[in-house]
């Protein structure tokens, strides 16, 4: 299909999906900076509160992603997201009615997870439907940035809403403004320019050997190495995002004593740096490491381990100049990992199975975040403090570095490997 067949309206479509992903990030993270208040309200310890409330969301995100993928194929991504983003709005508006029941709050979090999951499934359809092959890496990259931005905005706006309202219940309800605006933007897409006709590009036809190559790929040890890298990074990222806000805000000896608002701004720095790392990863991979994925992934894990562990020490947490720098470095180096790991697929496997492999690595890798929440919450419950949980984040990141050393291109697909440092657009 020629470039002129793709209208400029596609950039508005990309912005709408980007904003929908931002909404997902805000709804995902809103309980994290207020976990101390939530635990006190329901009479729970912090470990139990963190585990149950964040886990309810994460489990149903996986369910929502699977169901959402089916719905996107059958009903279209716009219709699917109109329903699921509405679930995000409903889930946040429900929170003020959950004051007497933890079960009701967990139900609201489950509904939010179901609403968030399909956004990840929809981005593939958006890329294929609206963008020429050489541009399809753009929407895929923007989604990761949108999720980080949403989390960052949540860390900033949720504490501000709490200070203004004096209630975590009403602070959560205020966050419904994001998905409600997302719904209005999706309606504009539904009523706007029609997308190019799908399937008219002959290059989109799937080769006859696709199933054979896919089965062969899933038998390779490196397939599970890459999956492990995504899994461990999701563990590190989710655990650090969920545990660190309360650690930074809570009074000593439980935490660093910086208060809700300042802790929220610190975590906003982490999310901003993750976005910067994600954007920079392609340039670092191509220019500095000459396409050697294992070097970038290993650097990301090793540096993330070092700087995550640094926030355990009072001489860092008590220094308002050093702490933001360390938090920035944690996020930046984390941001390198998943894009560089997924780029390994694009450069070393046949193009006709890139989508399937990417979907598997991301879909199963997200479960690492669930494990991270469970382990971190259990350690918090057992020890009554955050140091063991943060230590575990560093250990898991170090395990990711060891895993990255095995991220070696498969010889069986050597004929499909792209030139070092060059990520072909049609394989994004």
Q: What pLDDT score was predicted for residue 417? A: 57
Neighbouring residues of 139: CB distance < 8 A, sequence distance ≥ 6: 14, 17, 123, 126, 127, 130, 131
pLDDT category of residue 228 using cuts at 50, 70 and 90: very high
Which structure tokens are listed for 255?
A: 């935490």
pLDDT category of residue 97 using cuts at 50, 70 and 90: very high
ω into 342 cis (within 30 of 0): no
Q: Using CA atoms, how far apart are residues 249 and 263, in angstroms rounded to an integer? A: 5
Q: What pLDDT score was predicted for residue 356? A: 67
Tell me the CATH number for domain 7-194. Answer: 1.20.1250.20
Q: Using CA atoms, how far apart are residues 123 and 387, in angstroms rounded to an integer? A: 37
Mean pLDDT value across the chain: 82
Q: What is the pLDDT of residues 358-385, one digit of tens each?
A: 667 776 788 888 888 788 888 887 888 8
State the Cα angle at 411 between 409 and 415, rounded to 5°: 100
Q: Is the pLDDT of residue 351 over 70?
A: no
Tell me the CATH number for domain 210-421. Answer: 1.20.1250.20
Q: What pLDDT score was predicted for residue 420? A: 40
Neighbouring residues of 119: CB distance < 8 A, sequence distance ≥ 6: 17, 20, 21, 24, 68, 81, 84, 85, 143
Q: CA nearest 25: which of 170, 108, 145?
A: 145
Range list for CATH 1.20.1250.20 in the chain = 7-194, 210-421
């Amino acid at each position: 299909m020629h470039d002129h067949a793709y209208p400029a309206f596609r950039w508005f479509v990309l912005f709408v999906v980007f904003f929908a992903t931002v909404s997902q990030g805000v709804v995902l993270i809103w309980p994290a900076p207020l976990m101390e208040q939530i635990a006190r309200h329901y009479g729970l310890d912090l470990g139990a509160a963190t585990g149950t409330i964040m886990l309810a969301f994460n489990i149903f995100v996986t369910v929502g992603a699977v169901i959402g993928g089916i719905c996107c194929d059958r009903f279209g991504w716009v219709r699917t997201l109109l329903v699921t983003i509405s679930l995000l709005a409903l889930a946040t508006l429900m929170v003020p009615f959950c004051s007497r029941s933890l079960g009701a709050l967990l139900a609201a979090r489950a509904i939010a997870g179901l609403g968030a999951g399909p956004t990840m499934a929809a981005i593939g359809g958006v890329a294929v439907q609206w963008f020429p092959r050489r541009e399809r890496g753009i929407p895929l990259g923007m989604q990761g940035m949108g999720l980080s931005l949403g989390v960052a905005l949540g860390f900033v706006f949720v504490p501000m809403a709490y200070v203004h309202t004096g209630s975590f219940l009403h602070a959560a309800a205020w966050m419904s403004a994001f998905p409600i605006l997302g719904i209005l933007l999706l309606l504009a897409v539904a009523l706007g320019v029609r997308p190019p006709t799908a399937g008219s590009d002959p290059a989109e036809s799937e080769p006859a050997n696709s199933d054979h190559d896919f089965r062969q790929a899933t038998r390779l040890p490196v397939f599970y190495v890459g999956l492990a890298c995504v899994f461990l990074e999701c563990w590190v990222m989710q655990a650090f995002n969920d545990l660190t806000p309360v650690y930074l805000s809570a009074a000593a000896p439980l935490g660093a004593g910086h208060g809700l608002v300042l802790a929220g701004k610190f975590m906003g720095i982490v999310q901003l740096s993750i976005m910067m790392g994600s954007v920079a990863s392609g340039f670092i991979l191509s220019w500095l490491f000459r396409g050697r994925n294992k070097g970038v992934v290993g650097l990301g894990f090793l540096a993330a381990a070092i700087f995550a562990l640094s926030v355990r020490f009072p001489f860092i947490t008590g220094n308002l100049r050093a702490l933001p720098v360390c938090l920035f470095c944690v996020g930046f180096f984390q941001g390198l990992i998943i894009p560089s790991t997924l780029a390994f697929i694009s450069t070393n496997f046949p193009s006709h199975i890139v989508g399937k492999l990417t979907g598997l690595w991301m879909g199963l890798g997200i479960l690492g975040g669930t494990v991270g929440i469970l382990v971190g919450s259990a350690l918090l419950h057992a020890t009554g403090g955050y140091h063991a949980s943060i230590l575990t984040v560093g250990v898991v990141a170090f395990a990711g570095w060891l895993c990255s050393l095995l991220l070696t291109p498969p010889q069986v697909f050597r004929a499909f490997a792209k030139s070092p440092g060059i990520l072909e657009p049609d394989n994004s």
